[in-house]
């Protein structure tokens, strides 16, 4: 079976893009990804994209192809909440490996912040991931669902709200060195702890912002001249949709997805040099780090505060993550993969890590720890 490589990556700034709609933002990221890969539109024979809450079109992939001027032999759109971006890359990998396509464009974007309905529309739409009879009628929103997780997490592990706040402070520090980040104002631990309560025990600093933005990749069977970043392994898991039906608090599915990705890649967690882990809320990151085996139970916040060391250094979300770089929907999780790719290609500028960058793990979740996708990347330098 063929290998699949990330040969181009594009990422807009996250924040406010007044006057740009979903298709406009997707176009910006797609152009950058094609330029990065050294390809023209006519070279693309596959397109995969996600969804947009501000443009809920039934045929978004085909719509974008028409808008951008593409004529692919394959096009599809997926919807897995925050896990969508990683799932799109996994699908592109399979399309290339099986020979269905040679060059696949993965693209997603949304004006989630500045669309006509604004943040309120996005919040209302996202709340529908809750159970139609047991959750949504009671007015629960996404922060409320994650607050339930956070409360249980703190009780079950002995972690503290300060531990979660440490994660917010770390992400803001990373974003301050990242051009295009949504939130870059300095954030101290004291300020994070004093920020406005949103859904106890989560405060404002524990929650990602709602942003405009887009991201894109080109996935091909041949490596890039920038450095060969191979999608070495991919895995998914879907153990529940609604948090009220989840029964296994030791494994929401993240561990299963990670195990499958590492098994395909043929490497172990200790060989990973860097991480890109979904962080829609501080508790999201804490629970994912611990469940996937990159932090001891209840210790993720402390580990992040100490510089995030797990044996060898494993830099984490060096762009600032969803918590500070921003979150425009599907593209939010894709930004983690863009950052890891650039780090592995030694093209991260002032953020470039000093240690090795031979293998990385990226994890995304959708819903309320509902859908999980893990990706293992390898730098094939030979």
| Domain regions of the chain by residue span | 5-116+211-220
Nearest to 82 by CA among 348, 304, 276: 276
The confidence score (pLDDT) of residue 312 equals 43
Which helix (DSSP H) or strand (DSSP E) does residue 96 occupy?
helix 84-97
Q: Give per-residue pLDDT as tens, 359-372.
A: 999 999 999 999 99
| Residue ranges with strand state E in the chain | 5-11, 46-49, 74-77, 103-111, 197-199, 202-203, 212-220, 229-238, 274-277, 359-366, 371-379
- Superfamily in which the 5-116+211-220 domain is placed by CATH: Thiolase/Chalcone synthase (3.40.47.10)
How many whole angstroms separate alpha carbon 37 and alpha carbon 8? Answer: 4
Cα distances (Å, whole numbers) of residue 27 to 30, 328, 339: 5, 15, 19
Q: Give per-residue pLDDT as tens, 129-171.
A: 777 777 777 777 889 999 999 999 999 999 999 999 999 999 9
- Proportion of the chain above pLDDT 90, given as a percent: 82
How many whole angstroms separate alpha carbon 355 and alpha carbon 28? Answer: 32
Q: How many CB atoms lie within 10 A of CB 328?
A: 33
pLDDT at 311 over 60: no
Distance, CA of 2 to chain centre = 25
Q: Give per-residue pLDDT as tens, 88-132.
A: 999 999 999 999 999 999 999 999 999 987 667 767 776 677 777
Strand order in the sheet with 46-49: 74-77, 46-49, 103-111, 212-220, 5-11, 229-238, 371-379, 359-366, 274-277
Where does the pLDDT of residue 29 fall: very low under 50, low under 70, confident under 90, or very high at 90 and above? very high
Q: Give per-residue pLDDT as tens, 67-88.
A: 999 999 999 999 999 999 999 9
């Amino acid at each position: 079976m063929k290998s699949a490589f990330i040969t181009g990556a594009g990422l807009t700034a996250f924040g406010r893009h007044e006057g740009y709609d979903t298709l406009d933002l997707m176009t910006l990221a797609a152009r950058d990804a094609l330029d990065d890969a050294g390809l023209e539109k006519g070279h693309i024979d596959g397109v995969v994209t996600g969804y947009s809450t501000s443009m809920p079109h039934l045929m978004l992939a085909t719509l974008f192809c028409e808008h951008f001027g593409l004529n692919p032999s394959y096009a599809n759109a997926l919807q897995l909440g925050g896990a969508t971006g990683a799932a799109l890359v996994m699908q592109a990998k399979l399309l290339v490996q099986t020979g269905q396509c040679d060059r696949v464009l993965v693209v997603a974007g949304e004006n989630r912040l500045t669309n006509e309905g604004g943040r309120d529309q996005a919040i209302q739409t996202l709340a529908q991931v809750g159970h139609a009879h047991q959750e949504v009628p009671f007015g629960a929103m996404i922060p409320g669902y994650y607050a339930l997780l956070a409360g249980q997490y703190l009780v079950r592990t002995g972690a503290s709200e300060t531990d979660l706040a440490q994660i917010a402070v770390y992400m803001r520090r990373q974003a301050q060195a990242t051009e295009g980040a949504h939130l870059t104002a300095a954030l101290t631990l004291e300020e994070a702890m004093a920020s406005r309560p949103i859904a106890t025990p989560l405060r404002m600093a524990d929650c990602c912002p709602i942003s405009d933005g887009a991201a894109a990749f080109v996935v091909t069977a041949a490596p890039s001249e920038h450095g060969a970043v191979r999608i070495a392994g991919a895995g998914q898991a879907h153990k529940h949709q609604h948090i009220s039906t989840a029964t296994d608090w030791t494994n929401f599915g993240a561990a299963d997805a990670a195990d499958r990705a590492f098994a395909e890649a043929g490497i172990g967690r200790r060989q990973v040099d860097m991480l890109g882990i979904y962080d829609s809320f501080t508790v999201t990151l804490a629970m994912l780090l611990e469940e996937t085996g990159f932090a001891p139970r209840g210790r993720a916040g402390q580990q992040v505060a100490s510089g995030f060391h797990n044996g060898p250094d494993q830099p984490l979300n060096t762009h600032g993550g969803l918590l500070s770089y921003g979150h425009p929907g599907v593209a939010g999780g894709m930004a983690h993969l863009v950052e890891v790719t650039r780090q592995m290609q030694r093209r991260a500028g002032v953020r470039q890590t000093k240690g090795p960058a031979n293998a990385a793990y990226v994890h995304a979740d959708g819903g309320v720890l509902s859908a999980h996708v893990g990706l293992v990347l390898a730098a094939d330098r030979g």
